[in-house]
Amino acid sequence: MPALRRPALAIAAGLSMLFAAGAAQAACEDLAQFPVVDGKITSAAMVEANTAIALPGLPISLPAPAKFCRVAVTLTPTPDSSIMAEVWLPEAAGWNQKFLGAGNGGFGGTVAAPMLDMRKALERGYATAGDDLGHETPFPKIDASWAIGHPEKVKDFAYRADHVTAVFAKALIAAYYGKPPKYSYFRGCSNGGHEAMMEAIRYPDDYDGIIAGAPANSWTHLMTNFLWNERALSETAISRISDAKLSLVQSAVMAKCDARDGVTDGIINDPSTCRFDPRKLLCKAGDGADCLTQAELDALLKIYGGPIDPVTHKPIYPGFPVGGEGLAKNWTQWITAADSSQAQFANQFFGAIVKGDPNWDYRSFDFHKDVVLADATIGPIINSNSDDLRAFAAHGGKLILFQGWDDAAVTAYGTIAYYRSIQKKMGAATTAGFARLFVAPGMMHCGDGPGPNSLDCVAALEQWREQGVAPAQILAAHYSNPLAVLAGLPAGDPTSTRPVCAYPSVAHWTGTGSADQAANYVCQGPGAGRTHH
């Protein structure tokens, strides 16, 4: 991809001037003067520890965990590009000699989401960077209107912004400290997971290790799944499932499958093994608080089943597992609300990015023709679902995929299917040598839920890449304050801990000791069932 590499090399060449000066470490303020071809540094200033850092577009400020040099830059790899990025550089004495790139979320539009991971990275001694994916959108608005008439901005969003940010950041790090980072890692969840896989696929040399959480890496089919759910819930005037009915469904699921792992805790270890039949909830006549109408049942079955091509009759994308239907801010936020997050993302994606039509109507969508069109036109640009990761593996890269079973945005079945496709393409043994998948019971989208809301994949990735110890399990924890966990702030003691096992193994309670302590669980193969009687 010569057109993509030119700006990155130009940035590195511009910053190499620092080495000519022979400085062991540059002064933070001097970074503002460093020449950047295809870009411009807009500010460079020291930030004292505990200084409030405002998150762009949010009424939230977070304290700086340590003193650091904060550099802002606008990168312009094409005339229509405007990628706003930040690089945070801890003092040399506190630098762990590593770099961590932080992914964004949704359609991006601000550096607020990356800053959450950047702050946590800084606390661990990392130099770190994040970007807005090449456009400005007020948070939390779900809007892709910036894409209409701007194909280069679509490319920046899809893959280029993170790459040029990584190249710039690593060059700046080498300039500031007088040496490059020993290891470079990337972490992202949701669209950040899509970004993570894009880095592994398109730019396998950018990072030594990558964490891809709930990867929205098959945009064309994931958004089709979102539209499928929107259509299912609006099929008739009475198809939409109320919050109360979602709670009814979840209660029925838990009654059927919660205790199968020996612990009745509102969490199903492996929902794929739960043989729940929602048809048993069908009202015998009319409607009622303790049953589903035929219209509600039809919608639910479509959500569980996933979109089907009406011509080939083949699945387009997997549906959703059972078990998270009635959780707060889960299905009701992502799937069933009249203006759900799924509906907003899908309408913006197909209307603005695929069709270029701000007035596009989702009811006109053809689940055969329009999927084929999206795959052919935007798919090669935006999808990061290639199962050929040979270049990344050859680079020595390590990949950790993580996913919540109760995720109502990116279905766990989609991430599992992607991991299996890598295994099929590259062989199970080869895949295990560089890629592992961890599916957390009770975890919703990128965290929260009754299961673990803290999963330290960074430590596991470091140990794997730097010491050669592949993770068989990752220690996870549930905290009562998930927002503190998200922001990297003190969250107190966890209410429970549990190992999340490398897929397809599942953590099973041994039957002795507290079911809230990870030490009392063992990883076993799928279908092993309970380990006690």
Catalytic residue IDs: 190, 407, 445
101, 162 contact by CB (below 8 A): yes
In the chain, how many H helices and how many E strands? 18, 16
DSSP 42-71: EEEEEE-TT-EEEPTTSS-EEE-SS-EEEE
Return d(Cα 514, Cα 171) in angstroms, integer. Answer: 49
Only one residue has tokens 């959780």, namely 327
103, 446 contact by CB (below 8 A): no
Return d(Cα 54, Cα 60) in angstroms, integer. Answer: 6
242, 432 contact by CB (below 8 A): no
- Residues whose CB falls within 8 Å of the CB of residue 444, separated by 6 or more in sequence, listed in order: 324, 327, 329, 330, 404, 406, 407, 408
Say how far residue 298 (Cα) sits from the centre of its chain: 30
* Residues present in the chain in total: 533
Partners of 184 in beta bridges: 99
| Helix or strand holding residue 258 (H, E) | none
| Type of residue found at 349 | F
Closest CA to 225 of 158, 302, 340: 302
Helix (H, G, I), strand (E, B), or coil: what is residue 141?
coil
Task: Kindly tell me the burial class for residue 211, based on how many C-beta atoms sit within 10 Å of its own C-beta (0-12, 13-18, 19 or more).
Answer: buried
402, 437 contact by CB (below 8 A): yes
Residue 245 Rama label (left phi>0; alpha psi -120 to 50; beta): alpha
**Residue 2 DSSP code:** H
